[in-house]
Chains A and B, each alone.
Chain A
Amino acid sequence: MALGRRLRRLLDLRSLLVHWPWLVLLLALGLVRLSKGAAVVDLYALLSRPFWPGTAQSEWLRQAQHLEDQQKISLLQGQLNQLKADSALREQQGDWLTAAVISRRTEGWWQQLELGAGSLEGLHYGAVVTGPGGVLGRIASVTPSTARVTLLTDPSSRVGVTLKGSRGQGLLVGEGTSRPRLRFLDKDVEVQPGDVVLTSAASSLYPANLIVGVVQTVNSQALPAPDALVQLAAPVDAIDWVRVLR
């Protein structure tokens, strides 16, 4: 009975008539919420119009943007030329064979791949293996129909590398993680994240100027010379086919 009385009082038409402004406000708030504050933002824009940034600044911004675009274009042009030259060089360098990855062990104490091609296909010990993007490693042993690749990330891997533009020579040392460490030979070397790492011309194991990866982080405090972690250009975990220099 009490409940019924309370309900009747709640739905009383008279009280509804008295409190209608509150209901309208509630509805308005709901609409604002549903429209993600559209009315509020529009109102703010209308009110703040006199204080918007002047045209001079926008003109200046546009000019800066134009300049930046020009620089980007020239930079990309340069990179494109460089890439064309690199790929032409690589194509000249020899006879590449495509091989399937039949086993991949990239965890723990060693980092190696097995390829589904071997000495019958002309692969030999020490041949360079690359994937889309860059160098993966070298062939450590061959059987007639398979070949075992020691990756750059293997703890036993040591490769002479250089930064693009021959700015710094170093040794790329595998550490069993997905990112090998670049130990520079010089004490004062200008390196920053994003620098491209190439195989060095001084390396007798690899042809020069093959792309290895990109500098990820730099530790300039390391002794005796700075070192850096390198993100390999070729994604080892995702590659199913590789190319081998015969």
Chain B
Amino acid sequence: MGNLPLSRYQALFISGLLLLFLSLASPWWLKLNGVSPSWVVLWLLPWAVVEGPLAGALAGFGIGVLLDSLQGSGLTAVPVLVLLGLWWGQFVSSRRPLERSTTLGLLALLGSLLLNGSYALQLYWRGQSAFAAWQLSLAQALFTALLAPMICSLLVLFWRRRSLRHGR
């Protein structure tokens, strides 16, 4: 086995950058009827599950700040992403094993709903209404949950391999 070309932090950084570009471009061929999955959930979940609560929370904080900078209307995703990182990090221990890949789907579903719920709450506090976005949030949660078993389980393998190679 040769050296892996990237360390896990390099891989994290590059994939995070790709995630930002993806959320900017939001290409039509990655959407289902105008709805795109919550890419940030699909990105954060496998990392946190492999690396643990602290790394998950830090990654959630970092990507949250970057996403906020791209979203001009002053809403923030940081608190909820940090909490999601902490929560998903709990699954690193063998006491709470990820039994099946459907668990990943369920976690992604809840993560996507919580993320959109936090946006809704902030808009509600600001006295603005975006009622139609709820419908889209539900569609997005379902789409994310559908993709999670496929994408996240591959990414879990990816991060696990890197994590073992470089030692924790």
A interface residue numbers (CB < 8 A to B): 102-105, 107-110, 112, 114, 140-141, 148, 150, 154-156, 175-177
Whether B132 lies near A176 (C-beta < 8 A) is yes
Q: How far is the CA of A155 from the CA of B71 in the complex (A)?
A: 13
B75 at the interface (CB under 8 A from A): yes
Q: How far is the CA of A103 from the CA of B133 in the complex (A)?
A: 19
Cβ 8 A contact of B129, one of A102, A103, A104, A155: A155
B interface residue numbers (CB < 8 A to A): 23-26, 34-36, 71-75, 116, 119-120, 123, 126, 128-133, 136-137, 140
Q: Chain B contacts of A110 at CB under 8 A?
A: 71-73, 75
- CB-defined A-B contacts under 8 Å, sample of 13: A108-B137, A109-B119, A109-B130, A110-B71, A110-B73, A112-B73, A141-B72, A148-B72, A150-B73, A156-B128, A175-B131, A176-B130, A176-B133
- How far is the CB of B40 from the nearest CB of chain A, in Å? 13
- Closest A-chain residue to B34, C-beta based? A107
Whether B24 lies near A155 (C-beta < 8 A) is no
- How far is the CB of A172 from the nearest CB of chain B, in Å? 14
Whether A156 lies near B73 (C-beta < 8 A) is yes
Q: How far is the CA of A148 from the CA of B25 in the complex (A)?
A: 14
- How far is the CB of B61 from the nearest CB of chain A, in Å? 20
Whether B26 lies near A103 (C-beta < 8 A) is yes
- Closest A-chain residue to B77, C-beta based? A109
Q: Chain B contacts of A150 at CB under 8 A?
A: 72-73
- Closest A-chain residue to B129, C-beta based? A175
Q: Chain B contacts of A102 at CB under 8 A?
A: 24
